[in-house]
């Protein structure tokens, strides 16, 4: 068999095998078999040296034509396979833009955050500014500067969490008031929200970590009437106009006179129930006129200035506002509970 017949045989063999090649793997096998280093076409080129010189141009042209034909057929078939593959992929990944989108699950604010922000907005609208201070305090700012005597029960280990002989975790945010008065001259009008710590056992109504918001106003001619007006506005905004406020005489070392503030029961609306111990009232905060000694220790002349202060538990306000009966729910991160506040 001469080389011309071999070329025709290779051509026929390729066409038969090419007709059965419908994927990239089969095409690659064909390429190696016919165009590879040891392929059929490569071997035909090796035989060109044994044919007469006068036949080389014609057979060389036929051999080159065969190589180009095989190469082109393989390329076209591969392009078609790739095109079909891409078309199939696009079809499988087709998106129906008319379908509703996937609903994104959103979180919710914690009830303590909601109440804190609401209280801040209420007092800011009345001209108060927000002040902050350290949670680790010393005895001077936490007790002495607030006119709390050394033998006061609040200083005992069973009430206060001491870090060492000098430093402790603040038991209220009142130290922020003192620090503000030391570096700011009247008029002063601030609220101090933040975490506080007590040596309490955790139960339905007590927690060793809770949140307070305290307020302080110092200026000339500040009266108890200013205090009552401020608190009344706050209660109306946070609980609603239908709830009444009353002030009961009380005692705090840092205010004189002092008063406990009650609001008509959220549940029974003042008629009397188990929540309010049948009294119709719920205690929400302590308040009073800033004690002259507290002003003096902060270098504010009590003969020229007066002021009032108040302090409330944000946790307690949240419990009353949302009808929550266990303070531990605010700390347990139960998603079923938290999702109610979306």
Residue ranges covered by each domain of the chain: 3-92, 111-341
Query: What angle do the packed helices 224-239 and 314-322 form, to 10 degrees?
Result: 40
Q: Which of 325, 326, 322 is nearest to 110 (CA)?
A: 322
Q: Is 269 left (phi over 0), alpha (psi -120 to 50) or beta?
A: left
pLDDT tens digit at each of 342 positions of the chain: 467 777 788 888 888 888 888 888 888 888 888 888 888 877 777 777 677 777 667 777 877 887 888 888 888 889 998 999 898 888 888 888 888 888 887 778 899 999 999 999 999 999 999 999 999 999 999 999 999 988 777 777 668 899 998 899 999 999 999 999 999 999 999 999 999 999 888 888 788 999 999 999 999 999 999 999 999 999 999 998 888 899 999 999 999 999 999 999 887 777 777 777 888 898 999 999 999 999 999 999 999 999 999 999 999 999 889 888 888 998 888 888 888 887
Give kind and range of the element (H or E) at residue 316: helix 314-322
Angle at 115 between CA 113 and CA 117, to 5 degrees: 65
Query: What DSSP letter does each residue of 5-62 carry, written as one string?
Result: HHHHHHHHHHHHHHHT--SHHHHHHHHHHHHSTTSHHHHHHHGGGGS-GGGHHHHHHH
Residue with token string 């008319």: 98
Burial class of residue 318, CB neighbours in 10 A (0-12, 13-18, 19+): buried
Query: What angle do the packed helices 111-125 and 224-239 form, to 10 degrees?
Result: 140
Give kind and range of the element (H or E) at residue 190: strand 188-197
Name the DSSP letter for residue 185: P
Q: Within a 10 A sphere around the Cβ of 188, how many other Cβ atoms?
A: 22
The pLDDT value recorded for residue 157 is 65
Name the DSSP letter for residue 162: B
Integer distance in angstroms from the first to the last C-alpha of the chain?
89
Say which residues have a Cβ less than 8 Å from residue 264's Cβ, sequence separation at least 6.
243, 244, 245, 270, 280, 281, 282
Angle at 222 between CA 220 and CA 227, to 5 degrees: 155
Give the CATH fold of the 111-341 domain.
BirA Bifunctional Protein; domain 2 (3.30.930)
What pTM was computed for the model?
0.68
């Amino acid at each position: 068999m001469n080389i011309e017949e071999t070329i025709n045989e290779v051509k026929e063999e390729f066409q038969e095998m090419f007709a059965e090649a419908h994927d990239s793997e089969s095409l690659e096998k064909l390429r190696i078999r016919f165009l590879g280093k040891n392929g059929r076409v490569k071997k035909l080129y090796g035989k060109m040296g044994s044919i007469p010189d006068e036949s080389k141009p014609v057979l060389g042209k036929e051999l080159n034509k065969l190589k180009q034909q095989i190469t082109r057929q393989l390329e076209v078939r591969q392009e078609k396979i790739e095109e079909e593959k891409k078309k199939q992929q696009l079809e499988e990944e087709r998106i129906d833009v008319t379908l509703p989108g996937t609903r994104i699950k959103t979180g919710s604010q914690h009830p303590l955050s909601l109440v804190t922000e609401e209280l801040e907005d209420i007092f800011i609208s009345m001209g108060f500014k927000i002040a902050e201070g350290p949670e680790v305090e010393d005895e001077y700012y936490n007790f002495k500067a607030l006119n709390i005597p050394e033998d006061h029960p609040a200083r005992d280990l069973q009430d206060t969490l001491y870090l060492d002989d000098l430093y402790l975790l603040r038991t209220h945010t009142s130290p922020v008031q003192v620090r503000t008065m030391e570096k700011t001259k009247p008029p002063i009008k601030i609220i101090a929200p933040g975490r506080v710590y007590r040596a309490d056992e955790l139960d339905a109504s007590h927690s060793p970590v809770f949140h307070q918001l305290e307020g302080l106003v110092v200026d000339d001619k500040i009266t108890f009437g200013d205090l009552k007006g401020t608190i009344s506005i706050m209660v109306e905004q946070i609980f609603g106009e239908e709830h009444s406020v009353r002030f009961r005489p009380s005692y705090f070392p840092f205010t004189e006179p002092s008063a406990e503030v009650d609001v008509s029961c959220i549940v029974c609306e003042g008629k009397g129930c188990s929540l309010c111990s049948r009294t119709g009232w719920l205690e929400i905060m302590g308040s009073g006129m800033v004690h002259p000694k507290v002003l003096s220790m902060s270098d504010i002349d009590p003969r020229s200035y007066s002021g009032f202060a108040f302090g409330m538990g944000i946790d307690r306000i949240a419990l009353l506002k949302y009808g929550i009966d266990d303070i531990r729910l605010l700390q347990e991160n139960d998603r079923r509970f938290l999702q109610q506040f979306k």
